Amino acid sequence: MQKHRRGALATALLAVALAALGLTATAQAKLTGEYTRFANCPYTNLEVKKCLLSTTTSGEVVLGKKKVPIEKPVVLQGGAGKQVEGIAPFFAASNGITLSKAPQNVPGGLLGIVPEASSPALVKALIKFFLENSLTGVNSTLELAKPASEIRVSENNLAAEEGVALKMPVMVHLENPFLGKSCYVGSSSSPIIWNLTTGKTAPPAPNTSISGKAGFIEFLEEGSVAFLKEAKLVDNAWSAPKATGCGGILSFLVSPIINAQLGTTTAGNNTAILNNTIYIAAAAAVRLNNEEHP
């Protein structure tokens, strides 16, 4: 009797699991045409008014004296809520990957950010060890420093080429076996705040004003989707805190060396230039497409 019950329970659980898998597959298969881009938009949440998919295809991030070109695409996706005074709150992507982690190569690698000559003996020995093991490459990965709900978007400013179009709290993860897993510039408690604009920046010296652009817009799916190509978002007025957690247990030695190499990272010494293709959809249209294609 108990065996039979257990068997029935297992069958029921399996059926639920299969149904869940089936539902997931159906949910993903429903969207069609341009709407398929918004599969990870939380459009089922009625507070979400717009779906956003922005891919940074090139550009650069200058942090103090270090310039990192963006060579691997970085994707920002999610939803935007109702605008209040032209600014909308952001909703995380439904798959949890609001900002994709795309490690970008830091030119010069380990040698570029940890100069062997001026390092303490222990650090020198470790660098030598890592260099000899061809582990000199350093990657820089942009990560969200706070929940996606802290992001703010302004479609009006994006289109009008004025004001802040995208406000994003970020941190930069420097990755290399020598630097350890916790080498960051910025943190959740002390994030780098990017106020990206498609207009002109007004940074403090030594930086000077640079310009972004909204790019070219085209409406797709009968005006329910906007496609912006060659959109350039810029900010060169942001400040960055010191690097922390670099070098594992030798952080007290390595982090200061990295900070010395980065140089001054106060406002006016850093730049973010992001060249994007952006797709924006009315969430209601995505929902409708989802319902029309069961």
Residues near other proteins (CB under 8 A) are 49-50, 82-83, 155-156, 159-161, 198, 213-220, 222-226, 280-282, 284-285, 288
Nearer to other proteins among residue 81 and residue 247 (C-beta) = 81
Q: How far is the CB of 226 from other proteins (least distance, A)?
A: 5
Q: How far is the CB of 47 from other proteins (least distance, A)?
A: 13
Look up tokens 């922005």; give the residue.
54
Q: Alpha carbon of 98 to those of 51, 64, 125: distances in Å?
A: 12, 27, 40
Q: Alpha carbon of 215 to those of 107, 231, 280: distances in Å?
A: 29, 4, 14
| 3-class DSSP assignment, residue 184 | strand
Q: How far is the CB of 35 from other proteins (least distance, A)?
A: 11
DSSP track, 199-226: SB--PPTTS---B-B--EEEEETTTTEE
Nearer to other proteins among residue 186 and residue 215 (C-beta) = 215
* Structure tokens belonging to residue 243: 């690097």
Q: How far is the CB of 86 from other proteins (least distance, A)?
A: 9
Q: How far apart are the first and last CA of the chain?
A: 41
Q: How far is the CB of 212 from other proteins (least distance, A)?
A: 10
* Structure tokens belonging to residue 70: 């963006």
Nearer to other proteins among residue 257 and residue 280 (C-beta) = 280
Nearer to other proteins among residue 33 and residue 204 (C-beta) = 33
